[in-house]
Amino acid sequence: MKGVSKSTILVPGASAPAAINTIKSLKMVKYPVRIVSSDTNPVSAGFYMSDAHELLPEIESKLYLTRLFEIITKHKISVLMPSSGYDIYHYSKNKEKLLNLGALPVVSDEKTMETCRDKMQTFDLLSKKFDLPFTTLDSRKIGEFPLIAKPRYGKGSKGIVKIDNENDLKYIQSKQDDLIFQQYLPGTEYTIDVLSNLEAEPIIAVPRIRLQTKAGISTIGKIVKDENISEICKSVAKYLKIRGPCCIQMKESKEGILKIIEVNPRLGGGTIFTTLAGANFPAMIMDMVKGKKLKIPKISEITIVRYFEEIVVENGKAMKYDLNLV
């Protein structure tokens, strides 16, 4: 792509799947972009896939924003990708300051982000229009086991546990505060990646069945074409006024009714599934930012199996290695 000027983007959360998926997706299509990744972990996998990388202090640190602004200025960042469940809330809250530095954060407005950060608030709002499992702050109101406990202010699937009896419930309550409790749904689980434009108008939704998960991350998934699921999830994104990508999870009740169990206003940990099926959300986001007219891609119903891949680091640099010599 000679003669094409490169934008410089920041991909936060470089140790997590969403950021790694974002980098992979952009590299797959050789998108003309310079990638700078960031994280608090000095040996994040995404660092060794990027053109440059930077360390950030913990998200709660008073120095976080100062360091973020330094990175944006140093690298002339023009776009901040929503690839981290932690950084995106800072991006939304400080959007005007970021824009003044020449960096566009692809996130929703602060009100939407605050709603999505509080899972109880999210479920209260969505329950007015959509099917959700019964959700409460009081576990006694569920009335039966098993039930699901999750952090009220959690990020993605972290901290979500299935509780089978009273002893398990007492144990988890002794270990965690600010829990919400949800009716357990036994059926098939879906993850749906949704992309909206910068005016919060949904463009495309790509559902997949979660055939196998480990630590909350899908390791085997099957892309499905289901217009009903796609339309529901696009309606959810529009109702919440989400800009850019979001990741929605749905699960079937014992009666076979699909219900919404999670909404995260960012790129998901399984973004690469959607990319491989034909919808490269990170590349589409860059096209939107550049003002290009988006073409709705054709989606392939494929099954994807994930596996670990090693990066060998020597003297701070990723090294190529020959499998025949290992």
pLDDT in tens, 88-117: 999 999 999 999 999 999 999 999 999 999
Measured distance CA(62)–CA(81) in Å, rounded? 22
Residue 73 has pLDDT above 70, yes or no: yes
CATH among 3.30.470.20, 3.30.360.10, 3.40.50.2300, 3.30.70.270 for 113-117+186-305: 3.30.470.20
Query: Which whole-number Å values give the CA distances from 240 to 19, 135, 234, 246, 264, in the listed order?
Result: 23, 18, 10, 10, 11
Amino acid at 45: A
pLDDT at position 4 over 70: no
Averaged pLDDT, 138-164: 90
Half-sphere exposure of 52 (CA within 13 A, CB side): 13
DSSP of 105-116, one letter per residue? E----HHHHHHH
pLDDT-based confidence at 214, cuts 50/70/90? confident
**Long-range contacts formed by 163-167: CB under 8 A, 24+ apart:** none
pLDDT of residue 154: 75
Predicted confidence (pLDDT) per residue in 261-297, tens digit: 999 999 999 999 999 999 999 999 999 999 999 999 9
Does domain 7-107 sit in CATH 3.40.50.20? yes
Can you tell me the mean pLDDT for 27-42? 96
In this prediction, residues 151-176 reach a mean pLDDT of 89
pLDDT at 50 > cutoff 70: yes
**Which of the four pLDDT bands, split at 50, 70 and 90, describes residue 163?**
very high
pLDDT of residue 2: 47
Which pLDDT value is given to residue 49? Answer: 95
Structure tokens at 194: 């949704």
Give the model's confidence band at 322: pLDDT under 50 very low, under 70 low, under 90 confident, else very high: low
The 10s digit of each residue's pLDDT in 174-185 is 998 899 999 999
pLDDT of residue 309: 87
Q: What is the mean pLDDT of residues 59-70?
A: 97
| Residue spans per domain, the chain | 7-107, 113-117+186-305, 134-183
- 134-183 is a CATH 3.30.1490 domain: yes
Query: What integer is the mean pLDDT of 309-315?
Result: 88
The pLDDT of residue 308 is 86
**What integer pLDDT is reported at residue 257 of this predicted model?**
97
pTM, two decimal places: 0.94
In angstroms, the Cα distances linking 284 to 116, 194, 204 are 23, 12, 11
Partnered with residue 38 across adjacent β-strands are 12, 54
Give pLDDT, residue 25.
97
If you average pLDDT over every residue of the chain, what do you get?
A: 94
Residue 159: which pLDDT band, with cuts at 50, 70 and 90? confident
Q: Reply yes or no on whether the pLDDT at 220 is more than 70.
A: yes
CA distance 65 to 104: 15
Contacts of 222 by beta carbon, 8 Å cutoff, 6+ apart: 208, 209, 211, 301, 302, 303, 304
- Length of the chain, in residues: 326
